[in-house]
Structure 1
Amino acid sequence: MFKNRLAGLLALAACGAASVFSFAPLYLGVLMPLSLAGWLWGVGRAPSVRAAMLAGYAWGLGYFVANVYWVYISLHTFGGMPGWMAAGCTLLFGAYLALFPALAAGLGRRLPCPEPLRLPLLLPTLFCASEWLRGTLFTGFPWAETGTSQIPSWPLAGYAPIVGSMGVGWLLLLGVGIVLARWRDPRRWAGVAALWLAGWGLLQVEWTTPVGKPVSVSLAQSNIAQDMKWNSAHYLDNLRVNLQQARQARGELVVLPETAIPAFLTDVPDWYLDTLRSAVGERALVLGVPLQGKGADEYYNGAMVLTDPRQPVYKKQHLVPFGEFVPVPWLFGWMYRFLDMPLSGFSRGAFKQPPFVIGPTRLAANICYEDVFATDILQALPEATMLVNFSNLAWFDGSWAAEQQLQMSQARALETGRYMLRSTNTGATAIVDHRGRVQARLPQRQRAVLEGQAVNRTGLTPYGRWHNTPILLTWLLSLLALVWTGIRCERRQSSFN
């Protein structure tokens, strides 16, 4: 019995881990329904609440360890942690994230609900609610949302401009649950096919409107190794790379990546900044740079239009836990001190900040993994006509992290109906159009400047207008209706007995 149970849990963990292939760089979105079927089946067939939570946890552990394995690279290769300690921290992180699908599994078996609706409706809704909680609690970590696996070209992606990637994930789970509940019923398959076909039709809809002529853009990828980026011995070399790439750029809008200048702007010589401005002439130069605040301990991961000092600076507001600030310092402070990360302890910028005004372009900035948070990006609407992401993922070189983040940028572009420009240190530097499709990109770990065109767009998608409110209300009302109906069924059954 024990061996059979262990084998079942290992199979669920493997099923969760297989989901990594549904995301970028492979984009095999068809694998996600199969992976989710494993969670639904394992939880739905569990003989008790405890067994359901264990099944949900095993699946989640495989899912998250596979999708965030690159944490090991940052801790061991660049952070200097011993291999065993870095592996333990990565496993611990995955173990924490796995609590969310386990919580959904436990509630899915404990809450009263009509049994015919438990698998096709209650469990999918609770799973997606747990994803929302994961993306919100303790500043949130919505990496590898199930709905993102369908973006940009799988049929359910057509619903992203209406209900966002979270809503896409819910529709995906509903379809899987409906089929699993009665897989022999051809009407169930027909209903799911109609759902997917409608999504494909929605992919053809233009939700926003182009404005003016295309803007030529130059996106720099400096490809500076992480161990050189903050090394004072290479400081001048890093500045030369920026200058060379600015001179090489031909676009009306030139973008350099996150912390392109590895020093506070106030510490950079004026002659160098003037030389950078001269390199682009009358064109606009936007770059990432650390910004000093009013106090000695106040500094920001920022971005600015270097060629126009009248423009407001952008200050990153969604900071990376353990990378840019320490949650619960008394418990995790040792990790920060061990890693000795440069410019740790950033301050947080305002939640809503105005876009850069560059001619007809209203360019909304986001830095690093801020493009993972849909609600953060939506704050720039409707003013923004284009989005830009500044990133440095050299911390995870050799992994799929950069490709996964590119796919999340694609999701934000599709949800908002806006172009997303990405200028990164080592990749993935790309131009993503308003449908979430990559129009042009550079290979990773290559020093180059990506030349292309982007289009300003105005108007709001339904998701841009209403955010997550409709889908959250739908989940809440569904859960209330299911629980209320379940309670009535239980009372009716007990009265008969």
Structure 2
Amino acid sequence: MTPWREGGRGALVALAAGSLSATAFAPLGLWPMMPLALLLLVWLLDPVTKLKRAALLGWLFGMGHFTVGLNWIATAWTYQAAMPAWVGWAAVPILSIYLAVYPAIAAALAWKLGRDKPLITVLALAGGWVNTEWLRGTMLTGFAWNPIGAAFVDTPWLGAASAVGTYGLSLLMVLLVGAIWLAIKRQQLSSFVILAVVAGFALLPEPQPAATADEPPRITVVQPNIDQADKWRPGFAAEAARILDELSRTGQQSPRLLFWPEAAVVRPLDDQRPAADLSTRFERARAVQPINPGDLLVTGGIALQSDDRQSVDAATNSVFILGRDAEIEARYDKAHLLPWGEYLPMRGLLEPLGLARLAPGAFDFSAGPGPMTYELPGFGKMGVQVCYEIVFPGQVIDPDNRPDFIFNPSNDAWFGAWGPPQHLAQARLRAVEEGLPVIRSTPTGISAVIDSKGAVLDSIAWRQAGAIDTVLPAATHGTVFADYGRNLIPLLLALMLMAVALVRRAR
């Protein structure tokens, strides 16, 4: 079988293995395909004699992995007229060319340190993979979507994220592959030890929810099933308001928190121009119609900024907390903006070429200050992460003011069939890491109530309208991940493995 590891055939196997690995994520959720795919990558690296070849195999693996796994990005281009839809299908492999650099670095490190030493290869690949995943989530504003540990979301290893985080799950995934590889190489003792460590993390006790003396607050989560093609259509705002109002009246037991999706109200709810005051008051008054005294509406919306109090200078993608009087109790501005979606990178270069951002509007959104916690009298403390912000491990709450739950309004309506379930899976991982319930409200799905152990207690399926009327799940007392360094834990573990690999290679 050696010819299948050489030349063009080996390159095709690496590309196919990367493509296979993407099936481990939602919506397919075939998690054993991830260790199988990574095992193929290690098998391909085994006879390699040059560093460039090792890096190429890792890069090809990454090309297959990201091109298939991120296919949902292409769908976004079908919802705007500024650029043709085919640009989206070109954008996915172009983005993958960059993202695949990180698996290439991990593969090159594993080969450089390991070569003919299987145990060193395993340790270096595990440590290198985690460090490069963290870099991918950090460099150039970061793109932390789908670390390989996310494939463990529906397995007994999900709970281990409360100790080692999602990057730690990625470490366990590579070590699982390493145990199999060492068994194939007849290094049975090393294989058994590593396998025992990996299995042990699946048996970690789950953090227990904190006891609450009071009856938990009631919540209503709305999913209006408003398609992206309709959302910004002229004249549709009144129809959207009617749908949201109707669904919001399904839960009438007060007091309650009512949750609407990201940009549920497309007309500004806050505008610094005095001339727009009447319009914003009308929009807020219409939005709060379905709530009773004592209720609060938490909705996504737009805020406009003006330096001269006359013309609009910028906008923010915001979450508004509104009471029955339609006044703004508090506002959160999204901090981690989505490139191409909410701002056009290198605008001076790309705009003259006819390229534009996907969300409608003449100017880019401005970023907020980052995670914040809001005290909601009678309901506890709320953290907010808008849409894409929830995918960044260790960055979703204010560590100095821990909330009781996280609200994650999102607009997945333009991300096809694969994007929404992958987004939900990553929200579940944040719930486990932080020991906090996560409430998701989206226009077309998947809206959900997630408990602090990552379990989906209730949800509304993709492309269905509905509302969830339930109580707010309890938070845990805390987690090892949240209390002792967050991403520092998996990064230190990865560096330790790299250090051991370096020492053994030096010997």
TM-score, normalization: structure 1?
A: 0.90
Go from structure 1 to structure 2 and tell me whether the alpha carbon gap of 1:379 and 1:34 turns closer, same or farther (over 3 Å shift).
farther
The answer to whether the 8 Å contact 2:220/2:467 transfers is yes
Check conservation: 1:259, 1:289, Cα contact below 8 A.
yes
CA-to-aligned-CA distance 1:225-261 (integer Å, 9 cap, x gap): 2122112221222222222223333361110100010
CA contact (8 A) 2:450 2:458 kept: yes
Q: 1:155 to 1:456 in 2, by over 3 A?
A: closer
What secondary structure, in the 3-state scheme, does the structure 2 residue paired with 1:159 have? helix
Aligned residue runs from structure 1 range 191-206, under 5 A: 191-202=193-204, 204-206=205-207
Cα pair 1:312 1:356 within 8 Å, conserved: no
Greater share of helix: 1
Q: How many percent identity over aligned positions?
A: 27
In structure 2, relative to structure 1, the CA distance for the partners of 1:450 and 1:172 (3 Å cut) is same
Report if aligned partners of 2:241, 2:287 keep a CA contact under 8 Å in 1.
no
1:474-489 matches, within 5 Å, as: 474-487=493-506, 489=507
> How far 1:201 moved relative to its partner?
2.1
Q: Deviations over 1:293-342 (max 9, x none)?
A: 34332321000111174633111000001111122334433577445631
Q: Give the alignment partner of residue 459 of structure 2, picking from 420, 424, 441.
A: 441
Secondary structure of the 2:217 match is strand
Q: How far off its partner does 1:470 sit?
A: 2.4
Residue 478 of structure 2, aligned match among 455, 460, 471: 460
1:179-228 deviation digits (Å, cap 9, x = unpaired): 313424444554344334422321x4225414332332211111112122
Which residue of 2 is the match for residue 307 of structure 1? 323
Give the match's secondary structure for 2:457: strand
Q: 2:174 — aligned with what?
A: 173
Q: Contact (CA 8 Å) 1:316, 1:367: kept in 2 or not?
A: yes
**Map of 1:129-168 to 2, 5 A cutoff?**
129-151=131-153, 153-168=154-169
Distance 1:483 1:327 in 2: 39
Q: Give the one of 259, 266, 269 matched to 1:262.
A: 266
**In structure 1, what is the Cα distance between the partners aligned to 2:219 and 2:288?**
16
Whether 1:274 aligns to 2:285 is yes
* Counterpart position of 1:328: 346
Q: Where does structure 1 lack aligned partners over 5 or more consecutive residues?
A: 490-497
Q: What is the identity, as a one-letter code, of the residue corresponding to 1:371?
A: I
SS at structure 1 position matched to 2:338: coil
Partner SS state of residue 457, structure 1: coil
Once the two structures are superposed, residues 53-112 of structure 1 have per-residue CA deviations (whole angstroms, 9 ceiling, x without a partner) of 111011110000011011111124545644543322221011111111012222333358
Provide closer, same or farther for how the CA distance between residues 123 and 383 of structure 1 changes in structure 2, counting only shifts above 3 A: closer
Instruction: Write the distance in 1 (CA, Å) between the matches of 2:252 and 2:121.
Output: 56
Q: 1:393 to 1:335 in 2, by over 3 A?
A: farther
What is the CA distance between 1:444 and its match in structure 2? 1.0
Letter of the 1:9 partner, please give it: A
How far does the alpha carbon of each residue in 1:440-460 deviate from its partner, in whole angstroms, 9 at most, with x for none?
111111121122222232532
Give SS of 1:303's match. Answer: strand
Q: Describe the shift of the 1:375–1:200 C-alpha distance in structure 2 as closer, same or farther (beyond 3 A).
A: closer
Q: Give the CA deviation at 1:483.
A: 2.8
The match for 1:240 is 242
In 1, distance between residues paired with 2:400 and 2:225?
A: 32
Alignment-derived partner of residue 93 in structure 2: 91
Q: What is the match of residue 313 of structure 2?
A: 297
Partner of 1:316: 334
Counterpart AA for 1:322: W
Please, what TM-score do these two structures have when normalized by structure 2?
Answer: 0.89
Q: How many residues align?
A: 485
Task: Tell me, in whole angstroms, the C-alpha distance in 1 between the residues paired with 2:34 and 2:42.
Answer: 12
Q: Give the aligned CA root-mean-square deviation in angstroms.
A: 2.5
